[in-house]
């Protein structure tokens, strides 16, 4: 994937996340600054998602750990366990909200 394709793909990911939170009934503040999206919950927890251009990966940092995802056949896959980005992010968000959150 070219650098511009990577930027376009990650921009779509950030837009999808922001749209999901706009539709959801959960208390969280989102802040997008360049290639870093910070989600802060009422309980003080944060999930930080950033694009790592040199490796063409998306990274998630959460209380439960750090996760790296690579674009593979149309999906962002975890580099360790092949989990899908949005499925795993949904689980991380649900830890901090009572809403039936999903992407």
Domain architecture of the chain: domains with CATH: 3-94 (3.30.920.10)
3-class secondary-structure state, position 32: strand
Q: How many CB atoms lie within 10 A of CB 22?
A: 8
Q: Per residue in 41-77, is it b (16+ CB within 10 Å) or e — as a string?
A: beeebbbebbbeeeebbbbbebeeeebebebeeeebb
Cα distance between residue 7 and residue 51, in whole Å = 8
**How would you write the pLDDT of the chain (103 residues) with one tens digit per residue?**
999 999 999 999 999 999 999 888 778 899 999 899 999 998 899 999 999 999 999 999 999 999 999 999 999 999 999 899 999 999 999 888 876 777 7
pTM of this structure: 0.91
């Amino acid at each position: 994937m070219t650098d511009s394709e990577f930027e376009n793909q990650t921009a779509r990911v950030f837009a999808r996340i922001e749209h999901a939170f706009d539709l959801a009934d959960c208390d969280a503040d989102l802040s997008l600054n360049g290639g870093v999206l910070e989600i802060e919950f009422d309980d003080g927890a944060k999930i930080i998602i950033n694009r790592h251009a040199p490796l063409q990966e998306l990274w998630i940092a959460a209380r439960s750990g750090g996760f790296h995802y690579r674009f593979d056949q149309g999906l962002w896959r975890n580099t360790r366990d092949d989990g899908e980005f949005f499925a795993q992010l949904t689980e991380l968000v649900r830890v901090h909200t009572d809403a039936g959150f999903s992407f």
